[in-house]
A and B are shown apart, each in its own frame.
Chain A
């Protein structure tokens, strides 16, 4: 028999479907990020924080509504002003949002680098920026869902327990754009800080501890310094002070977050600097990692 080679057609097929581009890849990364944020397809332990946060976001509103409807048989317009409000909701939930961010942001970024999956993603037609942006948006999606859900429960609950539900909504419709804007400011803040910290280490535990540690240390440090002096600038050390300040500005509340007040525009600038700086760090890290 002469030496010859032969390849038989045993029915292997090429992929003949459509080839989709970057947007498809971005969407897939985002969707995968959403699943990761919720701990879907992961062990029970990974679901504790996201679902606990979701439940808490709704439970806080639920409790507020129940208390309101117990204290007054019907909420009249006069009561509405004194109710535990939409801005108060954010002040409470912001602490839990930071904890949620501390656990979920590392989940979104760290394992991909630790397990060396990132380089596999980057051989697809996407850039590091696409990757980070998709993860960032996934976080925003879930966090905003939780916060808005809580606010919707709050407004619907208050409206239903009001003596004139339609009247209540007509008088308070402005709360909706306000809580949307303020919620966005808050989640943007939590996302950028936690993602930036998570980009610094490949170990999830360290990243989570870093975020919570930053939060605790800066808050207690600000507390001590503000408590011992009259210098309002020390307030800016507290990491959550600026989103809380923005929250009260957006809701037009008179209560002063900082006393004595800081010059106009300073807290806003500081907020922008923190978010901008964190995002820049995040971008820088991923640009370097990919190179």
Chain B
């Protein structure tokens, strides 16, 4: 399993992909710093929502995980190398799991570290908001990685579809129909964030669901999409 993992890391750490991810992270941190220079963020709940919901959870988190996780299988499909993995006496979950873990290993630290830095810029060296951001992002990163890894295996052109899902389903539909909170990774993240530190992140209360429900749903999403990935690997014709 470690071989597929190492192979996947190697595939994901392409120069372009890493540059784009780091540039995005830098941009988000810079924007937070500019905003913090103009307003006291610990006082202004509205701006906190703009930054932590708008920038971090709605933009940086899905975009970074998307560029990585869709490529985990997408690259193999596009380069027609998937048969090197599937024609091996290896149970299919041992192909899917290292692919997922590789996306997490590359994307998780980047996203969580960026979030932590943004939190420290906004709220200073307070452990509570930092923990809230880190935990929220950990949930979001894993859930998105599971979904997008599956999408990358279903089609080599998963990226546009994933973008659509994130920015139509999670943003538009989530704003219109509150019931979608139960089916929205963004809502899981925000709920975790709000549950751990409802003082700093008081502004994100809209559409928040109970912590156990949020974490449980996220776990269910991860399990379901991982199972779908394994199933797809078993059922699909390798090109």
- Does a CB–CB distance below 8 Å link A and B in the complex? yes
Interface residue ranges, A against B (CB under 8 Å): 45, 49, 99, 102-103, 203-206, 208-209, 212-213, 216-217, 220-221, 223-225, 227-229
Asked whether A227 and B156 contact (CB < 8 A) given A209-B163, A212-B163, A221-B55, the answer is no
Residues on the B chain within 8 Å of A49, using CB: 160
**Which of A102, A206, A209, A228 has a CB less than 8 Å from the CB of B47?**
A228
**Which of A99, A204, A216 has a CB less than 8 Å from the CB of B157?**
A204
Task: Across the interface, name the chain A residue whose C-beta is closest to B39.
Answer: A228
- Asked whether A205 lies within 8 Å of B164 as measured between CB atoms, the reply is no
Give Cα A251 to B218, complex, Å: 47
Q: List 5 A-B contacts (CB under 8 A).
A: A203-B78, A206-B159, A213-B63, A221-B55, A227-B35
B140–chain A nearest beta-carbon distance, Å: 16
Chain A CB within 10 A, most for which of B27, B38, B78: B38
Give Cα A60 to B56, complex, Å: 31
Residues on the A chain within 8 Å of B58, using CB: 220
Give Cα A206 to B14, complex, Å: 13
- Asked whether B167 lies within 8 Å of A212 as measured between CB atoms, the reply is yes
Q: Which of B66-74, B88-96, B127-135, B230-238 contacts A (4 or more CB under 8 A)?
A: B66-74
- Asked whether B164 lies within 8 Å of A99 as measured between CB atoms, the reply is yes
**Which of B38, B50, B70 has a CB less than 8 Å from the CB of A205?**
B70
Give Cα A251 to B121, complex, Å: 43
- Asked whether A227 lies within 8 Å of B27 as measured between CB atoms, the reply is no
CB within 8 Å of A: which of B39-56? 39, 44, 46-47, 50-51, 54-55
Task: Across the interface, name the chain A residue whose C-beta is closest to B159.
Answer: A205
Residues on the B chain within 8 Å of A206, using CB: 159
- Asked whether A220 lies within 8 Å of B55 as measured between CB atoms, the reply is yes
- Asked whether A224 lies within 8 Å of B160 as measured between CB atoms, the reply is no
Task: Across the interface, name the chain B residue whose C-beta is closest to A96.
Answer: B168
B59: interface (CB < 8 Å): yes
Task: Across the interface, name the chain A residue whose C-beta is closest to B46.
Answer: A227
Give Cα A213 to B66, complex, Å: 11
Give Cα A99 to B27, complex, Å: 23
Chain A CB within 10 A, most for which of B78, B158, B160: B160
Give Cα A229 to B35, complex, Å: 8
Give Cα A221 to B51, complex, Å: 9
- Asked whether A224 lies within 8 Å of B59 as measured between CB atoms, the reply is no
Give Cα A212 to B50, complex, Å: 19
**Which of B46, B59, B78 has a CB less than 8 Å from the CB of A220?**
B59
- Asked whether A221 lies within 8 Å of B38 as measured between CB atoms, the reply is no
- Asked whether B50 lies within 8 Å of A224 as measured between CB atoms, the reply is yes
Residues on the A chain within 8 Å of B159, using CB: 205-206, 208-209
- Asked whether B163 lies within 8 Å of A221 as measured between CB atoms, the reply is no
Give Cα A184 to B58, complex, Å: 31
- Asked whether A223 lies within 8 Å of B54 as measured between CB atoms, the reply is yes
A5–chain B nearest beta-carbon distance, Å: 45
